[in-house]
Every structure is written in C-alpha cells, then in structure tokens.
Amino acid sequence: PSPPRTPPPSERRQRQRRHRETTGAAHPHLEAGAEEMESPEPVSPSSSSSGERQHHGLAGAAERPSETAALRALVDRVRGGEVEAAREVRRLTRASARHRRKLAAAVEPLVAMLRSGAPDGAGEAALLALLNLAVRDERNKIKILDAGALEPLLGYLQSSDLNLQEYAAAAILTLSASSTNKPIISASGAIPLLVKVLKQGNPQAKNDAVMALYNLSTIADNLQTILSVQPIPPLLELLRCGKRSSKTADKCCALLESLLAFDQGRVALTSEEGGVLTIVEVLEEGSLQGREHAVGALLTMCESDRSKYRDPILNEGAIPGLLELTAHGTPKSRVKAHALLDLLRNSPYSRSKLQPNTLENIVSNIASQIDGEDRGGKAKKMLAEMVKVSMEQSLRHLQRRASFA
C-alpha cells in the first residue's frame, strides 16, 4: 500500500490554527514554573521517524553516516542567506530534539538573517526556524538571545502583519521560559509591547503574550512595570471571551492574583464593570489550577481591605463556589477558600442588625454552630439552606452575567 499522505506545511498550519480557534487550547506546561511555545506545526501521524526519512532529501540522511556533513552543509547554506535552508532547519527541528542540538550552529546565521530585513520571507523563515530550535532546549534559548535576536523580535512584535506579530509573541514566550533570559527580556522594553499585543493582537498572539507576561511576572520587580501599562482590562476581556478552564485562563488568573497584591491592580479591577464577577466565574467554572488562582485573587483583595472588598465579592455570588472549593479544590484552594469564607462571614456589625435568612447571617451561623454536636448533620442542613438563599440572592447576579454574555 502507498504510504500515508503528509500534508504540506501550509495545510498543517491551517489545521493548527483551526484547532486553536475551536479548542482555545494553550501551549502545554513544558518547563517547571514556565510556559513555552510548542513547535508552530503539529506532528502528523505520517511524520514518524521513518516518515521523516522519506520526506525531504536531507531528512533522509538522518540515519546515514553522512548526516553530520549534510547538516554542516545546511548551516553553510543558511550562512549564505538561503531562505530555503532556513525553512529546512525549521522542518528538521520541528519534532526532533536531536536535530535541535546538532543544528545549534545555525543559530547565529539565522539571527543574522532575522536582523537583515531581507525580502522574500527571509525574516519569517528565520524566525520560525529559531522558534523550533528554542523549544525545549535551554542552551539554544540562551544562545539565541546572546546572538542578538531580541531586538528584531521586538520589531516584529510591533509589526502590522499579524502573523509576524504572532510568531514573535510565540518566540518571546518560548525564550522567556529560561530563567537566564527573563532579566534580559524584562530590561529590553518587551513588557509594554506584550501588553499592547494582549490588547490588539490576534487570538493566538494574545494567548502567547499573556503567558510570556506570566513568565516575566515571576521576577517580582516586573509586576509594577506590568501594572504601569494597564493590563487589567485586556486580561479580563481574555477571560470573558475564552474558555474559563483553558491554560490561558489559568495564566490570566495567576497573573491577576499577583497584580492584585498592589492597590493599583485592585482599583483597576473594581473599576472595570463586571471585574469581580469575571474572577468569580473562573472560581465556579475554571480548571482546578484556575480556580486556585481565582480564590487567591479574591482572598488577596479581601485581606488588603476587608471593609472595602467584602461586599463586592459577596454581591457577585462567590459563596457557593467557595464552599465547593473547600471540599473539591486543590489543597491550596481549600486553605484559601476557608480563609476567604472566614473574612466574608465575620460581619463588623452585630448579628442582631442582620436581616433573618440573609446570606451573611447563614454564613455567620455556620461559624458559630458548626462546632456543636452532630456537626455533619448541621453542615448538610446549613449548606442546603445556603444554596436556597444564594439562589434567591443571585437573581441580580445572573442578570448581570446575561448582560456580559
């Protein structure tokens, strides 16, 4: 039988883009504490090691003794400015860690091609080849920045060509996964440009920008820089428009949790109509990781100024989601949910001033009665009452949600 058909690169890119748009999937977690861009094109089933050896003449040399000479010749072609050679590097490094190592010598000439501004797609070909070389390869990440790639990447990040902007955002995301590169990227002026992409880029570029910002936010000094360029509105918009259980939503909430440690961040969130509501929706509908960051964000707000933020959180119907987290969240989520419930239930007013059957009264009663006899039965009864009262209180909350749909 004839071998399975290998789709051309353009078709694979279209499939990848359609997949991104329909699933909203973000790039997987490849390195501890960091997000990294995948290879721009997926590996098709026919692109196994044997399939790759059948595809493209140079790939066929992968298992032959002449491989080293062939790869050196390819690097020489890149040095000569051949665009097709850059595309060949991209193809070979798409799914092969071995080729990423063996073609590391192509980094400098590819960066030179990237910086040259040569016509005929040379910059794009070099950018995508460098992106594939950097994926899951710490040495190549560092080498790419050392060779001077950051300046042209920042230029592409400002390009009116949204595809080039997307590729540049993906490259900065991948390079920022390296702890060595983070301070260099931070000092380059990349943060305001990434926030601009977050506001104006295409959907994939926005996803990559928020993950790059998350990577850079692990340097504490960068948080004020990020806040200075007003990231809160586009972060909330990304949460509203995307899938709340996606990796992108997880990183949005993680970044928001860090930014809400600052008064400027809290003011920006509450100044946005539906800002607290958006966090509460992730608390209810997000992934386990996203819900952990969502409750952390709300807890950070309430701990900073309980009298100011308690009512806004209660008014958006956070209690049911918090109660669920105390039973079904991650260990960190459970601790944070209990801490936030404590802050929400301890009213500054005497209990006699509360209306009977109000949500606040029920929560306060949980605190005062749960330690008595038959705690399990009391908890079940109170939770049932909580759900009933919360449903009544949430009519306005649901109407507000509908206005954002």
Of residues 5 and 155, the one with the higher pLDDT is: 155
Q: pLDDT-based confidence at 40, cuts 50/70/90?
A: very low
Of 198, 229, 260, which residue constitutes the final position of a domain?
229
Would you say residue 10 has pLDDT above 90? no
Q: Among 5-19, 81-95, 244-258, 387-401, which stretch is predicted with the lowest mean pLDDT?
A: 5-19
Give yes or no: residues 163 and 293 share one domain: no
Which among 104, 96, 52 is positioned nearest to 75, based on CA atoms? Answer: 104
Note whether residue 371 is domain-resident.
Answer: yes
- DSSP helix/strand/coil, 154: helix
What count of other Cβ atoms lies within 10 Å of the Cβ of residue 145?
20
CA distance linking residue 235 with residue 279, whole number of Å: 11
Q: Are residues 202 and 101 in the same domain?
A: yes
**125 has a pLDDT exceeding 90:** yes
Place of tokens 């980094």: 107
pTM equals 0.76
- Is 350 inside a domain boundary? yes
Give the confidence band of 210 by pLDDT, cuts at 50, 70, 90.
Answer: very high
Residue 290's pLDDT band, with cuts at 50, 70 and 90, is: very high
For position 120, what pLDDT does the model report?
73
Give the separation between CA 126 and CA 85, rounded to whole angstroms: 9
Q: Is there a domain that residue 7 lies in? A: no
Q: Tell me, what DSSP letter sits at residue 34? A: B
| In a domain? residue 50 | no
CA distance 350 to 369: 17
Distances (CA, A) of 159 to 18, 167, 350, 361, 388: 23, 11, 60, 56, 53
| Band of pLDDT at residue 402, cut at 50, 70 and 90 | low
Return the residue matching tokens 């399990």. 376
- List the structure tokens of 93: 């490094």
80 inside domain = yes
Name the residue among 70, 164, 79 with its Cα closest to residue 125. Answer: 164
Nearest to 251 by CA among 285, 284, 221, 206: 206
- The two three-digit tokens of residue 285, written as one number: 């509908």
% the chain with pLDDT above 90: 67
| Residues 184 and 142 occupy one common structural domain | yes
Do 307 and 351 belong to one domain? yes
1 assigned to some structural domain: no
Q: CATH number of the domain at 255, please.
A: 1.25.10.10
Say if residue 225 is in the same domain as residue 264: no
Q: Is 212 left (phi over 0), alpha (psi -120 to 50) or beta?
A: alpha
Query: CA 261 to CA 59: how far, in whole Å?
Result: 51
User: What's the mean pLDDT in 274-279?
Assistant: 98
Classify residue 11: in a domain, yes or no. no
Q: Do 207 and 282 sit in the same domain of this protein?
A: no
Asked whether 363 and 321 are in contact (CB, 8 A), the reply is no
Q: Which of 16-25, 72-81, 168-177, 261-270 has the lowest mean pLDDT?
A: 16-25
270 shares its domain with 384? yes
More confidently predicted of 374 and 167? 167
Domain extent, residue 393, equals 249-405
Counting the structural domains of the chain, the total is 2
* Domain match, 223 and 314 both: no
Note whether 80 and 169 are same-domain residues.
yes
d(CA 19, CA 367): 48
Same domain, 218 and 144: yes
Tell me how far apart the alpha carbons of residues 287 and 285 are, in angstroms, rounded to a whole number: 7
Average pLDDT over residues 358-369: 49
Residues 211 and 253 placed together within one structural domain of the fold: no
Q: Tell me if 47 is assigned to some domain.
A: no
Share of the chain above pLDDT 70, in %: 69
Which helix (DSSP H) or strand (DSSP E) does residue 357 occupy? none
Same domain? 225 vs 338: no
Q: Phi/psi zone of residue 196: left (φ > 0), alpha (ψ -120 to 50 degrees), beta?
A: alpha
Which of 199, 229, 259 is at the close of a domain? 229
Residue 279 has pLDDT above 80, yes or no: yes
Instruction: List the beta bridge partners of residue 31.
Output: 34
Query: How high is the pLDDT of residue 359?
Result: 47
CA–CA gap between residue 235 and residue 249 (Å, rounded):
9
Sorting pLDDT into bands at 50, 70 and 90, what band is 401? low
Tokens of 52: 């790759």
Of the residues 170, 195, 229, which one is the last residue of a structural domain?
229
pLDDT at 170: 98
In Å, the largest CA–CA distance within the chain is 87
